[in-house]
Chains A and B, each alone.
Chain A
Amino acid sequence: MAYSDKVIDHYSNPRNVGTLDKSKKNVGTGLVGAPECGDVMRLQIEVDEATNTITDAKFKTFGCGSAIASSSLATEWLKGKTVDEALAIDNMEIVEELALPPVKIHCSVLAEDAIKSAISDYRVKNGLPALELAHH
């Protein structure tokens, strides 16, 4: 399969690989996917509570090049966004940016799920109701 240059770039030089302290109240963690399906993404955000802005984002992904690139790109996009702006990220923006072929669209869906799941976790930790997460 031919990968786009952007996928190869993110795969070879992934941005923001790592782990944030999930015990902190202002850190939200999303873990989506399943090993049997061949993709597991963990995406974490650290939020500045005063401004509701995402100050840091980290990921770790078990998956193909497109899954790694989708989550790497997501962390790049998340930093500096407010939580509400982050919620508006649509998987098709990831598809477009990385030029993902149709068989890899699920990787972008998973990345969007991971973002929403991390935000939901952050909300719950801070006394807000969980997000209604779409199940793909």
Chain B
Amino acid sequence: MLKLPIYLDNNATTPLDPRVLEAMMPYLTEVFGNAASRNHPFGWAAEEAVDYAREQISKLINCDSKEIIFTSGATESDNLGIKGVFEMYSQKGNHIITATTEHKAVLDTCKHIEKLGGRVTYLPVDEKGLISLEELEAAMTPETILVTIMYGNNETGTIQPIREIAKIAHKHGALFMTDGTQAVGKIPVDVIADGIDIMAFTAHKMYGPKGVGALYVRRKNPRVKVTAQMDGGGHERGMRSGTLNVPGIVGLGKACELARLEMDADTARLSALRDRLEKELTTLEESYVNGSVEHRLPHVTNISFKYVEGEGLMMGVKDLAVSSGSACTSASLEPSYVLKALGLSDDLAHSSLRFGLSRFTTDEQIDYAINHVKEAVTKLREMSPLWEMFKEGVDLSKIEWAEH
């Protein structure tokens, strides 16, 4: 029997893998020491667990275990990376380049940098969600200290040309940072081959626990340093103070290990499921896939259904836990800024659904989702005067709407 609602919002967060919980359990109970306690076995056991997690993480992204700085999650990592570079490299310059489709943790941090006197360039994206390498090159100046572009987008799954971006940043003497939140653990991320100097990521998007993340900070070629944003005991090589979240870190480590071992199998299965979902839903007339189909995370699809209103659609797909490009359900009425940056009109952005699949998503769940969405869209269109006009060939843009 299928349990409802079906969780397809795995870009928001993933469930904890039972194997991760199992690894964490001893550190939530008997092994409770502070990893910074150097003079007794309680501390040693905790430190050993943390060091082991560093190894597991570094194997996934091909870095040295000393290059991992533990944080509370990707938002903190993004803040630490950007603000930390801005402060550490202020002698060199004050210019940062990012993109309009970044997560708020990056965009709002950049706005903060502007208040501090920094200069930020927000690169636009094309209709697939990709930045232009020519525009990036043109935006580089001698004052540019950092280029920060996300690896895979949280709303559309679009993957940026990371290696080419890194090359351009390095050619102009800037550091390259990426928000790897959605990509790490889902697709191969290799900080050496990709040319990444700094990378933010988190456990809870890859079947680990919430409240723990990491910042990769390169130690050689070049040696990168970020200024700590919290003062305290000088943990994590002085870059992030605070007693380490040992059970969380053990969970992040285990999640990374599982991701490394199971990525190929997960990717093959999830991309097949995702493709089937997408193919079926786009058999509906006037439905559009948002973002790049060629350069995309394997477990995500974002689809707009024209002539259906977003909030009504969310109500119609009540058996699914999905995200909408419509923020109507929150306090704001603004549709997704990411979809708008791709050039979508407000109504298409409002009527989009984001499906994020996980390791635990089944064939049966996808079958149900396909039928459920098809039914909801069809029913709402039968009720929609706009759909009727469209079918009659009325040009909706020519109608004088009575705005209210």
A interface residues (Cβ-Cβ under 8 A, vs B): 1, 3, 11, 14, 17, 19, 31-42, 60-65, 67-68, 106, 109-110, 113, 135-136
Q: How far is the CB of A106 from chain B (nearest CB, A)?
A: 7
Q: How far is the CA of A35 from the CA of B387 in the complex (A)?
A: 11
21 contacts between A and B (CB under 8 A): A3-B315, A11-B315, A17-B382, A31-B385, A34-B404, A35-B401, A38-B309, A39-B309, A60-B383, A60-B384, A61-B385, A62-B307, A62-B383, A62-B386, A63-B309, A64-B311, A64-B312, A64-B315, A67-B309, A135-B402, A135-B404
6 more A-B contacts (CB under 8 A) besides A36-B347, A37-B404, A113-B404?
A: A34-B403, A35-B386, A40-B401, A60-B384, A60-B385, A68-B383
Tell me, yes or no, whether B272 is within 8 Å of chain A by CB. Answer: no
Interface size on B, as a range, is: 20 to 34
Q: How far is the CB of A44 from chain B (nearest CB, A)?
A: 10
| List of B residues within 8 angstroms of A35 by Cβ | 347, 386, 396, 401
| List of B residues within 8 angstroms of A110 by Cβ | 404
**Is B402 in contact with A34, judged by CB distance below 8 angstroms?**
yes
| List of A residues within 8 angstroms of B396 by Cβ | 35
Interface centre among B308, B309, B386 (most CB of A within 10 A): B309
| List of A residues within 8 angstroms of B310 by Cβ | 38
Q: How far is the CA of A38 from the CA of B309 in the complex (A)?
A: 6
Top 7 A-B pairs, shortest CB-CB distance: A34-B401, A64-B311, A42-B385, A60-B385, A62-B384, A65-B315, A62-B386
| List of A residues within 8 angstroms of B347 by Cβ | 35-36, 38
Knowing A62-B307, A68-B312 touch, does A32 contact B386 (C-beta < 8 A)? no
- Residue A62 contacts which of B309, B315, B329, B346 (CB distance < 8 angstroms)? B309
Q: How far is the CA of A61 from the CA of B307 in the complex (A)?
A: 10
Task: Map CB proximity to A onto B335-359 as digits: 1 under 8 Å, 0 otherwise.
Answer: 0000000000011001000000000
Tell me, yes or no, whether B231 is within 8 Å of chain A by CB. Answer: no
Interface centre among A1, A3, A109 (most CB of B within 10 A): A1
| List of B residues within 8 angstroms of A136 by Cβ | 404
**Is A62 in contact with B311, judged by CB distance below 8 angstroms?**
no
Tell me, yes or no, whether B328 is within 8 Å of chain A by CB. Answer: yes
Tell me, yes or no, whether B388 is within 8 Å of chain A by CB. Answer: yes
Knowing A17-B382, A61-B383 touch, does A109 contact B315 (C-beta < 8 A)? no
| List of A residues within 8 angstroms of B328 by Cβ | 38, 64
**Is B385 in contact with A41, judged by CB distance below 8 angstroms?**
yes
Q: How far is the CA of A115 from the CA of B88 in the complex (A)?
A: 65
**Is A36 in contact with B383, judged by CB distance below 8 angstroms?**
no
Q: How far is the CA of A21 from the CA of B229 in the complex (A)?
A: 68
| List of A residues within 8 angstroms of B346 by Cβ | 36
Q: Which residue of A lies closest to B400 (CB)?
A: A34
**Is A33 in contact with B386, judged by CB distance below 8 angstroms?**
no
| List of A residues within 8 angstroms of B387 by Cβ | 62
Q: How far is the CA of A62 from the CA of B387 in the complex (A)?
A: 9
Q: How far is the CB of B282 from chain A (nearest CB, A)?
A: 21
Chain B residues 281-318 with CB under 8 Å of chain A are 307-312, 315
- Residue B403 contacts which of A14, A17, A37, A106 (CB distance < 8 angstroms)? A37
Chain B residues 359-404 with CB under 8 Å of chain A are 382-388, 396, 401-404
- Residue A67 contacts which of B312, B333, B388 (CB distance < 8 angstroms)? B312
Q: How far is the CA of A19 from the CA of B309 in the complex (A)?
A: 20
| List of B residues within 8 angstroms of A31 by Cβ | 385, 402
Q: Which residue of B lies closest to A41 (CB)?
A: B385
**Is B311 in contact with A65, judged by CB distance below 8 angstroms?**
yes
Q: How far is the CA of A61 from the CA of B218 in the complex (A)?
A: 56
Knowing A17-B383, A19-B388 touch, does A63 contact B404 (C-beta < 8 A)? no
Q: How far is the CA of A35 from the CA of B396 in the complex (A)?
A: 9
**Is B401 in contact with A33, judged by CB distance below 8 angstroms?**
yes
Q: Which residue of B lies closest to A3 (CB)?
A: B315
Q: How far is the CB of B304 from chain A (nearest CB, A)?
A: 13
Q: How far is the CB of A13 from chain B (nearest CB, A)?
A: 11
Q: Which residue of A lies closest to B381 (CB)?
A: A62
Q: How far is the CB of A130 from chain B (nearest CB, A)?
A: 13
| List of B residues within 8 angstroms of A113 by Cβ | 402, 404
| List of A residues within 8 angstroms of B386 by Cβ | 35, 40, 62
Q: How far is the CB of A38 from chain B (nearest CB, A)?
A: 6
Q: Which residue of A lies closest to B308 (CB)?
A: A62
Q: How far is the CA of A62 from the CA of B310 in the complex (A)?
A: 10
Q: Which residue of B lies closest to A104 (CB)?
A: B311
Chain B residues 259-279 with CB under 8 Å of chain A are none
